[in-house]
Amino acid sequence: MPLAAVLGALAIGSTAANGALGYDVLKTNSVTYHVVTADLASRKLSPRTVASERLTSVWNLISKSEASAAITGTFFAPKAQRPVADVLIDGLLVSKGSLGTAVGVTWNGDVEIFDRPTGQPVDWGNYRYGLRGTVRLIRGGVVCPDPKSQSFKDSRLWSRAARTGLGVTSRGKLVMIATKSNVTLSEMGAAMLQRGVREAVSLDGGSSTCLYFNGSLVVAPGRQLCNLFVVALGNPLEWNGPGNRL
């Protein structure tokens, strides 16, 4: 759907969950970034991961997870149609791989971003949902991407590309951001700093770039996907929705 049509159907500044979940646009250096912000401290929202056993329509993933917002998940191997790193769903690892920065959702619904050395497995005991295989973008409020030091080998990671990012602020807000413009990792990190993000990662991008909010694909992917990071309505301490594995 053309950008003008999306913005016409979805007003900039749109909110859901009584204002706890919102969408807007950030324009900087001639680049348009689509941004979804989730106030996790409200306890009205439940962040989680969703995955399928093979590539599928993004709408299948969104429907299965009852998502109100969603963004592209971790990288996957196209031939195997499987994620290349850990994906944790409801305390169960449905995919394994010890590469990159991890994003974990605690049993209380808080999102934490943390690093482990390549090859060292994550102890997911404190987390209900999570994924790994992401590129560190921001640490302690400083933009610091260095995919080579994280053992990533695909040169497209440090070139210009359409990108997605996920981060957290010091006030407990989750920020999901995507752009179809070709930007560097550092440019994406700088944009996220403008939204108060203190810790952040870059997720899968390129033709996988996807952002969904409240019924609309704000940024539609150019191919099928096998995992997403999503936000659903409901208190994470009370939520007992559908399984998130297709």
Residue 8: pLDDT over 80: no
**Phi and psi torsions of 159, nearest 5°:** -105, -170
| Strand boundaries in 90-210, DSSP class E | 92-95, 101-106, 111-114, 127-139, 142-143, 161-169, 173-183, 197-202
Mean of the per-residue pLDDT values of the chain: 92
**Which residue matches tokens 């807000």?**
173
Using one digit for the tens of pLDDT, what is the confidence trace for 59-77? 999 998 999 999 999 999 9
Q: How far apart are the first and last CA of the chain?
A: 26
Counting residues of the chain whose pLDDT is more than 70, the rounded percentage is 91
Using one digit for the tens of pLDDT, what is the confidence trace for 123-170? 999 999 999 999 999 999 999 999 999 999 888 888 999 999 999 999
Q: What is the pLDDT averaged over residues 201-225?
A: 97
Three-class SS of residue 82? strand
How far apart (Å, rounded) are the C-alpha atoms in residues 228 and 203? 10
Give the burial string for 146-170 (b: 16+ CB within 10 Å, else e): ebeebebeeeebbeebbbbbbbbbe
Q: What pLDDT does 5 receive?
A: 44
Least confident interval from 17-21, 121-125, 212-216 = 17-21
Using one digit for the tens of pLDDT, what is the confidence trace for 68-114? 999 999 999 999 999 999 999 999 999 999 999 999 999 999 999 99
Three-class SS of residue 153? coil
